[in-house]
Amino acid sequence: MINFLEFPVTEAALARYEAAPRAIREQLPAHVVYVLCFIVDDALIPFYVGETGRFVGRMNDYRLANFTASTDFTIGEAAKYFIANQYAVVVGYKSSSTDEKERKKEERLVIRGVLTSGRRLLNCFPSYEYCAANKSDERTAVQCFCEMMIRAARDTLV
**Per-residue pLDDT reduced to its tens digit, 107-158:** 999 999 999 999 999 999 999 999 999 999 999 999 999 999 999 999 887 6
Compute the distance between CA of residue 112 and CA of residue 105 in angstroms, rounded to an integer: 11
Share of the chain above pLDDT 70, in %: 83
Cβ 48 vs Cβ 121: under 8 Å: yes
Asked if residues 28 and 38 have their Cβ atoms less than 8 Å apart, the reply is no
Of the candidates 58, 48, 73, 42, the one whose C-alpha atom is nearest the C-alpha of residue 8 is: 58
Q: For residue 19, what pLDDT band results from cuts at 50, 70 and 90?
A: very low
pLDDT digits (tens, 9 = 90+) for 72-106: 999 999 999 999 999 999 888 888 999 999 999 99
Question: Model pTM?
Answer: 0.86
Least Cα distance to 155 among 46, 79, 41, 78 occurs for: 41
